Structure 1
Amino acid sequence: MSLIEIILVGIGLSMDAVAVSMSNGMVYGTLPRRKWPLAPLFFGLFQGLMPLLGFFTGTLFAKYIDCYAELLILLILGFIGGKMIYDGFKGDKEKAEERVLSLKLIFFQAVATSIDAFAVGIGFCAINVNIFFASSLIAATTFILSSLSFCIGRKFGDLLGNKAEIFGGTILVILAIKAIL
């Protein structure tokens, strides 16, 4: 597998993380600058870790993960997005100022957006690929794209004001529904 092909796989895998990062940027745009890299770092780490796990576990657990992957994504992103929409419609200004992008939330977002990377790792078993190089490149690609999308999301969040949380939550719910279609 060539360098370009691995980068394209990384871009494809990172699209869910990019969408979630953009939503995070819209909703949690007031996050201090030093904390901005947290979510992209988690997304990159999990997008890089999952192909490794998939590669080394091979097909041993693949059928179980594949059976429940869509449901897990639906539940996690659907719940987070639904809560964001609910909070957005509440429209409580104090609530908006209290919003915190917690490590727990970032963790669940990272897991939900990287489950498909596990299956890619299983696929890498069948071809001649340096899994450590591929996983590192996928992680770096996801980190870069997620960082950029967070910044773009911040700009949209500034434009949308209080509606950013509703819009961001809607994006997450759409991703959750897309997972089961």
Structure 2
Amino acid sequence: MNFASTAALSLAMSTDAFAAAIGKGAALHKPSLREALKTGLIFGVIEGLTPVAGWALGRVAAPYVAAWDHWIAFVLLCGIGLMMIKSSFSGQSEAPEKPASHTFWMLALTGFATSIDAMVVGIGLALLGADILITAAAIGFSTFIMVTAGVMMGRLLGAIAGKRAELIGGLVLISIGCLILYEHTRPGL
């Protein structure tokens, strides 16, 4: 994957967490920068580790599906993208219920719930032979920044911006899936 694809994927993977962070920020009376940084760090670490776990699973299966890897990545990315788009139009968020206070375990649970798609993307990255350490670090860093900003903006932006972020993230994932499929199936390869 090139720099632009890694950056776009990182942004797309952090949008679910961003949407959840806006909700968490909106649930607080006045979220402090410390609370936002703590939330961003927890989400970022989890979001950075889950694609590595998916990548490890995908590496085991890679020799068996090498001829179909681009189709698998395409289907996975488009499927996740479509789920994110559908969620952006639904009346309720798929994120877990917002807690009254931000304890470590509730933040970790929410972070994991929003990172399941990153694990699936990790499987696709293994099939493509992508450098998982760089990609996972980019996803984790992007999530840290997006979640920190989301908590701080939560009271101002509310649920509308969170839903838009999911829509944009879903469209980006579908675009990356189409680009991967095009790159692997175009004539002359």
User: So what's the TM-score if we normalise by structure 2?
Assistant: 0.62
- Contact 2:55–2:126 (Cα < 8 Å) also in 1: yes
Instruction: State the one-letter code of the partner of 1:125.
Output: A
Residues 54-65 of structure 1 aligned to structure 2 (within 5 Å): 54-58=54-58
Q: Secondary structure at the match of 2:97?
A: helix
- Deviation (angstroms), 1:123: 0.5
- Deviation (angstroms), 1:29: 4.1
- Contact 1:51–1:121 (Cα < 8 Å) also in 2: yes
Instruction: State the one-letter code of the partner of 1:52.
Output: V
Q: Secondary structure at the match of 1:129?
A: coil
- Deviation digits for residues 24-68 of structure 1 (CA, Å, limit 9, x no counterpart): 11112434432221111111111110110011122769xxxx9xx
- Deviation (angstroms), 1:4: 1.2
- Structure 1 runs not aligned, ≥5 long: 71-75, 85-98, 157-163, 176-181
- Deviation (angstroms), 1:152: 1.2
Please tell me the root mean square deviation across aligned C-alpha atoms, in Å: 3.3
Q: Secondary structure at the match of 2:102?
A: coil
Q: Distance in 2 between matches of 1:120 and 1:7?
A: 14
Q: Distance in 1 between matches of 2:12 and 2:96?
A: 24
* 1:106 partnered with 2:123: no
> What residue in structure 2 maps to residue 4 of structure 1?
4
Instruction: State the one-letter code of the partner of 1:38.
Output: K
Residues 1-181 of structure 1 aligned to structure 2 (within 5 Å): 1-58=1-58, 77=94, 80=97, 99-156=100-157
Instruction: State the one-letter code of the partner of 1:42.
Output: I
1:151–1:31 Cα change, 3 Å? closer
- Structure 2 runs not aligned, ≥5 long: 62-75, 84-92, 168-189
Instruction: State the one-letter code of the partner of 1:23.
Output: G
User: So what's the TM-score if we normalise by structure 1?
Assistant: 0.64
Q: Distance in 2 between matches of 1:119 and 1:14?
A: 14
> What residue in structure 2 maps to residue 73 of structure 1?
none
Instruction: State the one-letter code of the partner of 1:41.
Output: L
Q: Distance in 1 between matches of 2:13 and 2:22?
A: 15
Q: Distance in 2 between matches of 1:59 and 1:141?
A: 24
1:79–1:21 Cα change, 3 Å? closer
Q: Distance in 2 between matches of 1:110 and 1:42?
A: 7
Instruction: State the one-letter code of the partner of 1:114.
Output: S
Aligned residues: 138
- Contact 2:59–2:127 (Cα < 8 Å) also in 1: no
Q: Secondary structure at the match of 1:101?
A: coil
Segments ≥4 residues shifted beyond 6 Å: none
- Contact 1:77–1:109 (Cα < 8 Å) also in 2: no
Q: Secondary structure at the match of 2:30?
A: coil
